[in-house]
Amino acid sequence: MRTEVGIIGAGPAGLLLARLLHRAGVSCVVLESRDRAYTEQRQRAGMLEQGTVDVLRAAGAGERLNREALEHDGIELRFDRRSHRLDFPALTGGRSVWIYAQTEIVKDLIGLQLKDGPPLVFGAEAVAVTGLDGRLPQVHYRDSAGEHTLTCDYIAGCDGHHGITGSALPASVARTFERTYPYAWLGVLADAPPSCEVLVYAHSPRGFALHSMRSPTVSRLYLQVPADTDVSAWPDDRIWDELDARFAVDGDWSLTRGPITSKSVLPMRSSVTEPMRHGRLLLAGDAAHIVPPTGAKGLNLAVADVVVLAEALADWKDSGSTALLDAYSDTCLRRVWRAEHFSHFMTTTLHTDPGQSPFDSRLQLAQLDRVTTSRHAAAELADNYAGLPISRQGPDH
């Protein structure tokens, strides 16, 4: 096959990029190693910034989102048995956040693409990318019919942290900055109505906990656990009892329990690869950067990347200029590092390190007290959480 942009990976980044390019008149082909059923069931993030919602709506993927997504006007911080609500619209000039599972975004985008979009090939495993320094790079892939080659002008690596495109950057030009954390999240889905109106972030001497939701009848909950945790060590009753203890506040609030339908352990790490471009290969989303989930930035960063990339590729198609493509990595990395900083702040402020000293615990409480008593500190958190503006010029504040 021959196309202008070869996209590797049919997660939110690859599918949204394909949608934006299609609407801009840039031809593309999406290659996904898994089948459609698996692709639509991958559980990932569910919190959307206002800018992400705006992009999805503008791309024609807002119909079901508008009907089913849960709009939230803030978050709740719990610590020292006290509860504090941060009002995002009041602190950010009107911005909100939305709960809409990544699985549903993927379903919406796949449906649009199969209906009237560019080719989407499932079961196509990319095994190599070549010619990145030439005029016509190639993606070599295999499927049930054998081995094939996709020739294109540019390759977009949207295949995640474990994909082939991130490792395709030569060691002589790429550098990866990483941090691992000594804890993980035990995440569960429960058939239980949410016990709160907004996401609850709880700091506790026992460890961090997060209460989120997927729908009015399904709760998504997380517990901080050691990095080497075995899920089998956490029966349902133990999970609910620990959640009760970490969310505890003075008052009559109670946690609604229900059948737990899935459990998984999520590692906590930060990673950024620089630059996000080499020759005709451009990385987007998890292929270029990973954030700990505390700041809810992973999916939103991927959307910001592909908005910048789609604009740059459309400008190249229309004008022949590569100026925006040349600026792609620097533009995205300004936003990426801001999100990395915010995610690190949220993670280290709310989690308890193994062997943490009483002094460090008091520093965390002092920081949380500052956020909940100072409008300036609260506005800084809200501004980052609700999302900085998506622009090809990068954040301007």
Catalytic center residues: 72, 201, 293, 297, 385
Cα 197 to chain centroid distance, Å, stands at: 22
CA–CA dist 66, 11 (Å, integer): 21
CA–CA dist 386, 47 (Å, integer): 10
CA–CA dist 265, 388 (Å, integer): 29
Region of residue 150 (left: phi > 0; alpha: psi -120 to 50; beta: else):
beta
The burial class, CB within 10 Å (0-12 / 13-18 / 19+), for 140 is middle
Q: What is the CA radius of gyration of the chain?
A: 21
Task: Report whether 194 contacts 213 (CB < 8 A).
Answer: yes
Cis peptide leading into residue 275 (ω within 30°): yes
Please give the backbone phi and psi of residue 344, each rounded to the nearest 5 degrees, phi first.
Answer: -65, -40
| List of residues 6+ apart from 281 with CB closer than 8 A | 129, 132, 137, 154, 155, 157, 165, 168, 169
CA–CA dist 32, 11 (Å, integer): 8
Cα 138 to chain centroid distance, Å, stands at: 28
